[in-house]
């Protein structure tokens, strides 16, 4: 690919701190779930995100360069309207860092995209109980394709 | 400098779905085949489906829009005047690398919309004429599905049993049963059983980021190895600048390699297989003083009648855990209940529905389809409501041809080789808008009947232009079509088009199965007719 996975672009400490602060605003601790800042969205998780998406780094730096973190809600609203690309990078970096964290995976009951045992979708999985009975009822309702000058037998 | 020994019987431009199929059948027939492909081979280990970053690389490096992806092998698109952003992938296997693998045939009425509905144009061929090619391509690639769908005339069904519906789709199938509405297991070009040395689906839900198992059919697996075994030569990193003609016949193509070196590939016959944008772009770039409006364009229709299938989605959220980040992606079931014209609805034609899972956690927090993000404490509540609990109807509305929807050459934009890039001009028609609004309402009824406690809709998804069709339509009349019923240019008798450009109308179905069937049909006709083929001396 054009941007090799594994290269970690530099993001300033100030941007990292700002990202954690904004992250805590967007995804706060609530309803049994931790806040984004406590899930390393400005540190190790950000490194993981940027390793895969180095293109986000300049947008994050630009977004956070003039961030007024005394009014985070106002900052986020303004960023969304005035620099949607930077807003997209900030929300993606926070969300991705959060939902790629193993602790968050544990809390939401997600184990990744787990392949089923290779090779073998069982007969019971393919022909689930009731499938063929339901399909038979569709057949019994008759053809639904529209006849054309060369098509016989349709309704 | 090309020499006589470099002369190919057939030069194919593009190694995707149609190019791969044409190459196999032409090479098997004993013709010497050379293919120029601007992309490269991809090893399945490159795909990110087994990595935690699959959802974020799927929004950039593996995103299907070339402007966002911006890889060296991509060409940029000016999409400023298009309601829908085109999607494609440049590689051996082409856009199949990232497609969903959904493989329905067109319906009989799709070939006769002028006769039946008084709109657009009839195709110069029928469903029955194409049916044997549908059946053979389904066997070639290993389609999984269930025989007997009453939405189609009788005939051979898919070679493999359907992929699992899972609890979410079974629930919606039961809802359609109560409503008396059509549903059927979706035919997918994804293996439910081991087939011809390929692994079956493992239900990991990452089909559109590239299939790590090789269970999803792509011509780099299904057709190119056979074509190469029969002598076909595939040149990657080869960007075609223009088709060269002499005395009204094609003589080959000028192309540029990855180092910027220019080449000429001579051939007796040229086959365009670069998708409906790429093919139109190259033909327009091949203008000469004799053909100032582009090659094969005496009708003025090259690049025009672009169809991209306006796409809407309706997502139902359910109480139970459906693990809806897993499964084929791909579709589980389809519905043709409202496919045919009913004039009382205020529009003509219809849409096919395909039911898909809803994706992983990042996609549930930042939805790419229906739904908005929620921030603050309620973020967690909305996430919990969505994650693993959704099913999504994708609605492909039939897109009627309009000559104003078109591919042009941009005045300023070029690719990295300096070749003029396409400009896309495309507006969603009033008929399409009414059609989608009706289908959104009906698909919402489907979800509610199935027990959804909440329904989220996306009335027009911008990044949904998978189905690139119509820019070199087929027909019997050279004044109103670009190619004949065999894909042969009316103007240049040794120039063929085998990709979706030849579509007369779009149907409301996923078009790859029809592109594949047409490519096989054209290739076999070319091979059978080879001794009558006029070529440049």
Whether B453 is covered by a domain: the verdict is yes
What φ, ψ does residue A11 adopt, rounded to 5°? Answer: -130, 135
Residue A152 within any structural domain of the chain: no
User: Which residue on chain A is closest to B170 by alpha carbon?
Assistant: A131
Non-local (6+) Cβ contacts of B184 within 8 A are: A135, A138, B146, B149, B151, B333, B334, B335, B336
Residue B378 domain-assigned (yes or no): yes
Name the band, by pLDDT with cuts 50, 70 and 90, for residue A8: low
Would you say residue A46 has pLDDT above 60? yes
Instruction: Kindly report, residue by residue over A132-141, the tens digit of the pLDDT.
Output: 999 999 999 9
Does residue A43 sit within a domain? yes
**C-beta pairs of B4-7 under 8 Å, 24+ apart in sequence:** B6/B265, B6/B266, B7/B266, B7/B267, B7/B268
Residue A3: per-residue pLDDT: 43
Tell whether B59 is covered by a domain: no
φ and ψ at residue B333, rounded to 5 degrees = -135, 165
- Within-domain flag for B315: yes
Q: Is residue A143 domain-resident?
A: no
Q: What is the pLDDT of residue B172?
A: 98
- Pinpoint the alpha helices (H) of B413-507: 430-449
Geometric angle at alpha carbon B197, from B192 and B200, rounded to 5°: 20
pLDDT tens digits, residue range A71-80? Answer: 999 999 999 9
User: What is the pLDDT, as a whole number, of residue A150?
Assistant: 63
A147 located within any domain: no
- Residue A120: pLDDT above 80? no
CA–CA separation, B526 vs B533, rounded Å? 8
- Residue A132 in any domain: the answer is no
Residue A118 — very low, low, confident or very high, per pLDDT cuts 50/70/90? low
Residue B50 included in any domain: no
- State how far the Cα of B2 lies from the Cα of B426, in Å rounded to an integer: 40
Q: Max alpha carbon distance in chain B (Å)?
A: 74
Nearest beta carbon to residue B128 from set A48, A52, A150? A150
Angle at B390 between CA B458 and CA B190, to 5 degrees: 90
> How many A-B residue pairs are in contact by the CB < 8 A criterion?
199
| Residue B335, burial from CB neighbour count under 10 angstroms (0-12, 13-18, 19+) | buried
Of all residues in chain B, the one with the smallest CA distance to A102 is B52
**What are the tens digits of pLDDT across the range B56-101?**
999 999 999 999 999 999 999 999 999 999 999 999 999 999 999 9
Mention every residue, 6+ apart, whose C-beta is less than 8 A from residue B115: A148, A149, B122
A2 pLDDT higher than 70:
no
Contact residues on chain B for A6, CB-CB shorter than 8 A: none
* Positive/negative CA dihedral, B363, B368, B371, B377: positive
Residue A153 has pLDDT above 60, yes or no: no
The Cα B313–Cα B24 span in angstroms is 36
Flag whether A88 is in a domain: yes
Tell me, yes or no, whether B183 lies in a domain.
yes
Min Cα distance A65 → chain B (Å) is 22
Tokens of B392: 């999504």
- Cα dist from A142 to B36, B153, B180, whole Å: 47, 11, 11
Q: Which of B61, B109, B128 sits opposite A145 (nearest CB)?
A: B109
**Number of domains chain B contains:** 1
Are residues B243 and B134 in contact, defined by beta-carbon separation less than 8 angstroms? no
**Tokens 């039939």 sit on residue:** B398
Tokens of A19: 């990202």
Chain A hits for B160, Cβ within 8 Å? none
Q: Smallest Cβ distance to A96: which of B174, B199, B362?
A: B362
Kindly identify which residue of chain B lies nearest to residue A148, measuring between CA atoms: B109
CA–CA separation, B320 and B304 (whole Å): 47
| Chain centre to alpha carbon of residue A76 | 19
- Using alpha carbons only, give the angle B288, B292, B293 rounded to the nearest 5 degrees: 125
Tokens of B456: 């989220």
Return mean pLDDT, chain B: 96
Residue A154 pLDDT: 47
Q: Does the structure show a pLDDT above 70 at A7?
A: no
Does some domain include residue B3? Answer: no
Residue A151 lies in a domain: no
pLDDT of res. A4? 45
Give the helix ranges, DSSP H, for B155-305.
166-179, 219-222, 224-229, 275-285
| Residue A96 structural domain | 13-108
pLDDT under 70: residue ranges of chain B = 1, 3-4
Q: Please, are residues A126 and B192 in contact by the beta-carbon 8 Å criterion? A: yes
Q: Return the percent helix, strand and coil in chain B, to nearest 5.
A: 30, 20, 50
- CATH, residue B420: 3.50.50.60
Answer yes or no: is B337 within a domain. Answer: yes
Does the interface ipTM go beyond 0.90? yes
> Residue A125's pLDDT is what?
81
pLDDT recorded at residue A121: 74
Domain ranges, residue B508: 8-43+64-532
Domains identified in chain A, total number: 1
**Torsions phi, psi of B97, nearest 5?**
-55, -40
Q: If you average pLDDT over residues A23-29, what whole number do you get? A: 98
Residue A21 pLDDT greater than 90, yes or no: yes
- Measured in angstroms, the CA of A46 and the nearest CA of chain B are apart by 12
C-beta atoms of A150 and B54 within 8 A: no
């Amino acid at each position: 690919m054009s941007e090799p996975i594994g290269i970690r672009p530099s993001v300033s400490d100030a941007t990292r701190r700002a990202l954690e602060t904004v992250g805590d605003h967007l995804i706060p601790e609530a309803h049994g779930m931790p806040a984004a800042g406590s899930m390393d969205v400005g540190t190790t998780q950000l490194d993981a995100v940027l390793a895969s998406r180095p293109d986000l780094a300049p947008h994050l730096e630009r977004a956070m360069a003039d961030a007024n973190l005394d009014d985070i809600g106002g900052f986020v609203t303004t960023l969304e309207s005035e620099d949607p690309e930077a807003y997209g990078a900030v929300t993606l970096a926070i969300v991705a860092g959060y939902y790629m964290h193993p602790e968050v995976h544990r809390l939401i009951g997600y184990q990744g995209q787990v392949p089923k045992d290779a090779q073998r979708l069982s007969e019971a999985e393919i022909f689930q109980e009731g499938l063929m009975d339901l399909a038979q009822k569709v057949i019994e309702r008759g053809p639904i394709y529209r006849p054309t000058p060369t098509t016989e037998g349709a309704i | 400098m090309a020499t006589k020994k470099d002369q190919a019987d057939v030069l194919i431009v593009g190694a995707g779905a149609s190019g791969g199929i044409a190459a196999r059948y032409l090479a098997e027939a004993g013709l010497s085949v050379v293919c120029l492909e601007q992309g490269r081979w991809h090893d399945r280990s490159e795909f990110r489906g087994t990595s935690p970053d699959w959802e974020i690389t799927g929004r950039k490096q593996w995103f299907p829009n070339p402007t966002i992806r911006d890889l060296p092998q991509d060409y940029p698109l000016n999409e400023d005047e298009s309601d829908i952003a085109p999607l494609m992938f440049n590689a051996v296997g082409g856009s199949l690398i990232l497609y969903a693998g959904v493989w329905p045939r067109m319906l009989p009425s799709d070939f006769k919309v002028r006769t039946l509905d008084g709109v657009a144009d009839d195709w110069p061929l029928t469903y029955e004429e194409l049916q044997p090619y549908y059946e053979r391509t389904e066997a070639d690639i290993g389609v999984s599905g269930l025989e007997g769908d009453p939405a189609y005339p009788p005939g051979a069904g898919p070679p493999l049993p359907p992929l699992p519906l899972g609890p979410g789709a079974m629930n919606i199938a039961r809802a359609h049963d109560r409503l008396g509405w059509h549903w059927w297991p979706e035919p997918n070009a994804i293996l439910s059983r081991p087939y011809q040395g390929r692994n079956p689906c493992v239900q990991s839900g990452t089909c559109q980021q590239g299939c790590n198992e090789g269970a999803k059919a792509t011509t780099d697996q299904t057709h190119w190895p056979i074509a190469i075994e029969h002598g076909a030569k595939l040149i990657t990193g080869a960007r075609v600048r223009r088709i060269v003609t002499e005395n009204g016949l094609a003589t080959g193509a000028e192309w540029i390699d990855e180092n910027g070196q220019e080449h000429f590939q001579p051939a007796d016959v040229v086959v365009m297989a670069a998708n409906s944008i790429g093919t139109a772009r190259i033909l327009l770039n091949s203008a000469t003083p004799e053909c100032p409006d582009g090659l094969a364009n005496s009708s003025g229709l090259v690049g025009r009648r672009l169809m991209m299938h306006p796409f809407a989605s309706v997502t139902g959220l359910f109480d139970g855990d459906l693990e809806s980040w897993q499964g084929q992606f791909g579709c589980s079931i389809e519905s043709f209940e409202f496919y045919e014209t009913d004039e009382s609805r205020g529009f003509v034609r219809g849409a096919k529905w395909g039911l898909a899972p809803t994706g992983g956690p990042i996609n549930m927090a930042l939805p790419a389809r229906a739904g908005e993000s929620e921030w603050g404490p309620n973020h967690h509540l909305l996430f919990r409501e969505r994650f693993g609990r959704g099913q999504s109807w994708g609605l492909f509305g039939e897109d009627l041809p309009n000559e104003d929807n078109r591919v042009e050459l941009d005045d300023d934009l070029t690719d990295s080789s300096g070749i003029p890039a396409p400009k896309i001009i495309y507006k969603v028609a009033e008929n399409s808008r009414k059609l989608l609004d009706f289908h959104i309402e009906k698909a919402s009824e489907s979800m509610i009947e199935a027990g959804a406690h909440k329904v989220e809709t996306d009335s027009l998804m911008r990044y949904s232009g998978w189905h690139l069709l119509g820019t070199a339509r087929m027909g019997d009349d050279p004044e109103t079509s670009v190619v004949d019923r065999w894909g042969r240019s009316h103007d240049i008798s040794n120039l063929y088009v085998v990709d979706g450009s030849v579509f007369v109308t779009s149907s409301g179905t996923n078009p790859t199965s029809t592109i594949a069937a047409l490519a096989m049909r054209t290739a076999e006709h070319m091979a059978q007719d080879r001794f009558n083929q006029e070529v440049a001396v």
